[in-house]
Structure 1
Amino acid sequence: MIVLGITNNDLSGACLVRDDRILSAVSEERFTRIKDDKVWPAQSISFVLSEAGISLEDVDYVAYGWNAGFTAEKHLPLYFDRIVDEVKNNPDGLPLFRKRIADEISNDKEKRAEFDKFISDNALSAYYIDHHECHALGAYVCSPFDEALTLTCDGRGDFQSLTLTHYTPNETTVLQRETSIDSLGYFYGRITHLLGYKPNRHEGKITGLAAFGDPEKLLGVMRQMINVEDGRIRAKCGDLFLPSYNGYSDTLQTLLAQEKPEDIAAAVQRHVEDMLVKVVTYHLENIGTSNLCLAGGVFGNVKLNQRLREIPNVSNVYVLPCMGDGGLALAAAVGAAYLENGTRFKNPAMTLGPSARSVSQNINLINRDYPELGYHNPSNIIETLVDALMENQVLGMFKGKMEFGPRSLCNRSIVYHAKDADVNDWLNKRMHRTEFMPFGPVTAVEQAAECYIGWSEEQVAADTMTMTYDCHPQFIEASPAVVHIDGTARPQVIRPEADGFMHKLLNAWHSRTGQSALINTSFNRHEEPIVCSSQDALAALKEGMVDLVVMSESLIVWRKNKNSFALQRFE
């Protein structure tokens, strides 16, 4: 069975699944070079089909994880009870409540119509999946667990903002749903916007900023906006809270005007953590399972994911690496395959995009279009790169297939040593970024346990940089560039079967220096998508974002006469 997954809402893209394999997946922004592009994913669809050597006529289903509609079974009891609750406890909030429902009905019509037209024009079979069911299916179907509690949480989708579902091989039971009024995604995004950042994009900056603040100071204010009551998320629509990224009352702005941004960030971070810990703990105790799966944009929050992992009854956590709405193309494709045939895709690699092309192709490109660049094929590229890192060279990794999802996992990454505590300042400036979170470390599996407290080999969430860990003191001292002010880091753990090249480089670096990590940050400028093509990578090199580009695991490229390391070694 061949399933094409498509998403065209928020970050658009496509994924192709054939039988028990995810063949490819890519986001449209990587081709258009427009961050979070919502345009119809024509190039993504063309790419995944061409990679498989098939046409649309060969596709059995086109799966879509948006706007499956309001149903009596899923939504009517939920909204009936919630409206009664609002009438009894917060009648002044009813007009705001009603506006949220009206917005929910109208918001996705244009995008759904775009998808429906594509289906009709090409005589295809559509497979509609409820938005939060799609997130949940993506997480469970791709997890290594046979049984798991799966939590979804985001701003909104198909009249919901959160679900908890218990999956076993034979049964699926939805334990809890929450309305899009009671949205933790909107709650966190509103604070993001209030602090001057773009909601639904810059929430990671708030997570990083939170470590500098006092969470207790404004926790009471946050509880007045939204809280857990008898195990349910309950927002109080009014002056302090709206289920929207827009609209801030004078009361709220006056209340927070004199507060430090870091204290506001710390309070919203702590409150979201506390609420979801309460909800998850309740259900874990009732169903007995100890595995937790996470998906939805809220779980881009790596600190939150750590808190959930640390719940006493949780033994292991899987975070779908493409956790947000941009990952719905993959989630819909694997979800449809599971619903139709029971097919699982346990712990799939995210290297699903366009390849870096061959060495000869890249050499021909450089010779033709980049006379200002030099290149060389070292006889031992691993040792050469260790030498380069020792000489403070910033490496742009452009190899293998591009990763799908928000994290660069060393195929489209910038790599540097982790010894320089000031690197977060000067390297971010080179990339025109403003960040409060330090760069993430990449560590070989053999050294991970001595770096990250509580890490164990079965914790695959750390393979894709989806969770923070408290760090051992010796690691904090040795690798200050990748440890946050609160003593945590967001690691990528490299296993040899996943990326043999980086595994060799990390172990060679460790043998030479005793250092257990290198920096891994995404290969892109601020507000631009991660590099996709050879031209994207070489343009970054020309601009001076990196010192060397490593292409296809064997070719080193640099700017002629502008790189002292290359002058000594190659020119």
Structure 2
Amino acid sequence: MKILGLTGGLHSAGLAYLENGVPIFAFEEERFNRIKAYKDFYAMKFRMPWECGQHVWYHKNYDWLKLDYITSHYDADVAEKIWRGIGLGPFPSEKYIKINHHLGHCALAYYCSGFEEDTFVVSIDASGEKYSCRMYLGKDGNMDEINNIPLTHKSLGHYYSMLTEFLGFKRLKDEGKIVGLSSHGGYRKEVYDCFNKCITINGLKTDKDKGKKYLGGIYEDFYRLWFEEFGSKFTQFDEDIAYNGQLVFEEKVLELFNNLHEKYPNIKKIALAGGIFANVKLNKRINELDWVDEVFVAPPMGDEGLPLGSALAVHKLKNPDFKPFRLNDIFLGTSYIDVVHDKEKFNCRPYSPTQLAFDLKEGKVVGWFQDRYEHGPRALCNRSIIADPSVPGTYKKVNDRLQRNDNMPFAPVVLDTHASSVFNVKKSKYTAEFMTMLYDTHLEWHNKIPAVVHPVDKTARIQIVTPNSNGKFYDLLRKFHAVTQIPVLLNTSFNVHGEPIVCHPKEAFVHLDNEIVDILVINDKVYTKK
């Protein structure tokens, strides 16, 4: 059975293709057109996945005419608009199946979780059709809805948008900066109260949105509370605002989950998707609940994951016996074999993991470009910049080169055999393969790998790498460990600030030419600038 999922819009456009329940490819438009998706939101541009449609040749057996089903979270008329926006002919409406926005998120989370036990499956974001949250009970491969939060009630996703914008940042772009900034602040009761009073949890719902504008209640209530407390006084404690805003956010979501647990006390697995679960500090708090055995967060947790999630939902609809499975990896993008380089600009040598391990030990910053790119927002060592996290000054050097000013440290990628000895990893190791979980770092490692440990709270957004998830990178990391006695490398996305993660080798060579990276590894070749 061949199913195509598609989406377009103001902040996400892409395609995903499923064959017999197996993800074959999942493309995001920003990777090809080099325009960050959030920019469409501010330009009010409905983006079509046109470039994605031009790259379906990557799968040699793909045929537009042989699709069994086409799906999206949009109504059929919008899906037809997207279809035609790709440059295709008449829309085969008889093959179209609409999947609800949050069901698409939840299908992705549940069916990729591999959970055999009963599972809470939850999607929360700013809004999706008529809801900001839907909750399902996953049991024996089926999902039954058990709760939702309609848009007549306040949205937790809009709460975080409000916090982001209040601190002078942009929604859909800078939420991660708020997460990082929050760990630099501290508790202030008067600030905490403003956030705490602007949204309330009542059982499995938030309080009613009584705003004068659609979805505006949480903004109106917070700003009223803030100005009642502080007036127009100039404040210089952004870190404390971020800290208390994040703290209240975590507490409200945890209250929802604990209330859910009271109603269904025997369920101990959680599968999550939707934009708010890009927040790794929140995910850490959920994972640390004493009644939770394991959490899985969909790797493309935002709307970029909806084409694949919708396709999985349709596959389940047509194949009732379909059950959750585990992903080996999320490398669902394009790859490039025949790489041509400018011989007047760049030297080339064969790849040797041992030699590269010594290069890293000497402080070199390496661009790592391998096989197919990752689906979702995280660079998982196929389109990554890597470095030795123990070398003094590495954090500042890489940050400066990438024109990055985030408060978040870079992410550590760690050998599976050493994850628990470096970080406090007691559960949810599978989701950590996709860098969707935050953990505390053991004390003895704080000063050994400073570039990947938060300077204040000593947490790390880790990626566990296994021989099955990424064999080539695993081998490099083993060699690096043998050379340095450090089973960890710094990993950050292969892009300068404000650009999408690199897709094509030509973009990687620009980074080498501009000295963003010292060494570039593409497939089995190593390039340096002359």
State whether residues 26 and 44 of structure 1, in contact with CA within 8 Å, keep that contact through their aligned partners in structure 2. yes
In structure 1, list runs of 5 or more residues that go unmatched.
69-108, 561-571
CA distance change for structure 1 residues 318 and 170 in 2, over 3 Å: closer, same or farther? closer
Q: Which has the higher helix share?
A: 1
State whether residues 65 and 134 of structure 1, in contact with CA within 8 Å, keep that contact through their aligned partners in structure 2. yes
Name 1:5's counterpart in structure 2: 5
CA distance change for structure 1 residues 517 and 432 in 2, over 3 Å: closer, same or farther? same
Relative to the length of structure 1, the TM-score reads 0.84
C-alpha displacement of 1:55: 1.9
Of residues 467, 471, 474, the one that matches 2:441 is: 471
Q: What is the correspondence of 1:246-257 to structure 2 with a 5 Å cutoff? A: 252=226, 255=231, 257=234
| Match status 1:284 vs 2:261 | yes
Aligned AA (2:91)? N
Of residues 344, 352, 355, the one that matches 1:371 is: 344
Name 2:203's counterpart in structure 1: 230
Name 1:450's counterpart in structure 2: 421
C-alpha displacement of 1:498: 1.2
TM-superposition CA deviations, 1:220-256 (whole Å, max 9, x none): 1012211212342125545999258899958746557
Name 1:346's counterpart in structure 2: 325
Of residues 111, 114, 117, the one that matches 2:81 is: 114
CA distance change for structure 1 residues 233 and 248 in 2, over 3 Å: closer, same or farther? closer
Name 1:29's counterpart in structure 2: 30
Aligned AA (2:292)? V
Distance, in Å, in 2 between the alignment partners of 1:39 and 1:32 is 11
Name 1:43's counterpart in structure 2: 51
State whether residues 34 and 528 of structure 1, in contact with CA within 8 Å, keep that contact through their aligned partners in structure 2. yes
Q: What is the correspondence of 1:62-461 to structure 2 with a 5 Å cutoff? A: 62-66=70-74, 114-115=81-82, 121-124=90-93, 125-146=95-116, 147-169=118-140, 171-180=142-151, 181-217=153-189, 218-234=191-207, 237=210, 242=216, 252=226, 255=231, 257-258=234-235, 260-287=237-264, 288-342=266-320, 343-344=322-323, 346-348=325-327, 349-355=329-335, 357-358=336-337, 361-362=338-339, 365-366=340-341, 369=342, 371-378=344-351, 381-420=352-391, 422-456=393-427, 459-461=429-431
Distance, in Å, in 1 between the alignment partners of 2:183 and 2:140 is 40
C-alpha displacement of 1:427: 1.3
Distance, in Å, in 2 between the alignment partners of 1:224 and 1:238 is 15
- Let me know the Cα RMSD of the aligned residues: 2.4
Name 1:59's counterpart in structure 2: 67
Distance, in Å, in 2 between the alignment partners of 1:231 and 1:259 is 36
C-alpha displacement of 1:370: 5.3
Distance, in Å, in 2 between the alignment partners of 1:259 and 1:153 is 32
Distance, in Å, in 1 between the alignment partners of 2:246 and 2:403 is 26
Aligned AA (2:81)? E
C-alpha displacement of 1:45: 2.7
Aligned AA (2:287)? R
State whether residues 163 and 177 of structure 1, in contact with CA within 8 Å, keep that contact through their aligned partners in structure 2. yes
Aligned AA (1:242)? G
State whether residues 303 and 468 of structure 1, in contact with CA within 8 Å, keep that contact through their aligned partners in structure 2. yes
Distance, in Å, in 2 between the alignment partners of 1:212 and 1:184 is 23
Distance, in Å, in 2 between the alignment partners of 1:415 and 1:50 is 27
Name 2:432's counterpart in structure 1: 462
Distance, in Å, in 2 between the alignment partners of 1:276 and 1:135 is 17
Distance, in Å, in 2 between the alignment partners of 1:209 and 1:61 is 44
Name 1:527's counterpart in structure 2: 498
Of residues 540, 544, 563, the one that matches 2:515 is: 544
State whether residues 334 and 345 of structure 1, in contact with CA within 8 Å, keep that contact through their aligned partners in structure 2. no
TM-superposition CA deviations, 1:324-353 (whole Å, max 9, x none): 011111111112112221334622221011
Distance, in Å, in 1 between the alignment partners of 2:47 and 2:218 is 23
In structure 1, the residue corresponding to 2:373 is in which secondary structure?
strand
Distance, in Å, in 1 between the alignment partners of 2:25 and 2:6 is 12
Name 1:84's counterpart in structure 2: none
Distance, in Å, in 2 between the alignment partners of 1:20 and 1:173 is 20
CA distance change for structure 1 residues 300 and 4 in 2, over 3 Å: closer, same or farther? same
Name 2:21's counterpart in structure 1: 20
Distance, in Å, in 1 between the alignment partners of 2:525 and 2:13 is 32
C-alpha displacement of 1:499: 0.9
Distance, in Å, in 1 between the alignment partners of 2:219 and 2:482 is 49
Distance, in Å, in 2 between the alignment partners of 1:140 and 1:251 is 39
In structure 2, the residue corresponding to 1:397 is in which secondary structure?
strand
In structure 2, list runs of 5 or more residues that go unmatched.
41-45
CA distance change for structure 1 residues 50 and 558 in 2, over 3 Å: closer, same or farther? closer
Distance, in Å, in 2 between the alignment partners of 1:40 and 1:449 is 43
Q: Percent identity between the aligned chains?
A: 30
In structure 2, the residue corresponding to 1:441 is in which secondary structure?
strand
When structure 1 is superposed on structure 2, of 484-493 and 283-292 the one drifting more is: 283-292
| Match status 1:513 vs 2:484 | yes
TM-superposition CA deviations, 1:349-377 (whole Å, max 9, x none): 2101111x23xx22xx11xx452111111
C-alpha displacement of 1:271: 1.0
When structure 1 is superposed on structure 2, of 173-182 and 20-29 the one drifting more is: 173-182
C-alpha displacement of 1:535: 0.3
C-alpha displacement of 1:286: 2.5
Distance, in Å, in 2 between the alignment partners of 1:30 and 1:279 is 35
State whether residues 14 and 48 of structure 1, in contact with CA within 8 Å, keep that contact through their aligned partners in structure 2. no
State whether residues 119 and 138 of structure 2, in contact with CA within 8 Å, keep that contact through their aligned partners in structure 1. yes
Distance, in Å, in 1 between the alignment partners of 2:481 and 2:18 is 38
Distance, in Å, in 2 between the alignment partners of 1:414 and 1:235 is 45
CA distance change for structure 1 residues 3 and 171 in 2, over 3 Å: closer, same or farther? closer
CA distance change for structure 1 residues 413 and 112 in 2, over 3 Å: closer, same or farther? same
CA distance change for structure 1 residues 504 and 161 in 2, over 3 Å: closer, same or farther? same
Relative to the length of structure 2, the TM-score reads 0.90
When structure 1 is superposed on structure 2, of 409-418 and 191-200 the one drifting more is: 191-200
State whether residues 23 and 52 of structure 1, in contact with CA within 8 Å, keep that contact through their aligned partners in structure 2. no
CA distance change for structure 1 residues 61 and 153 in 2, over 3 Å: closer, same or farther? same
When structure 1 is superposed on structure 2, of 318-327 and 138-147 the one drifting more is: 138-147
C-alpha displacement of 1:524: 0.5
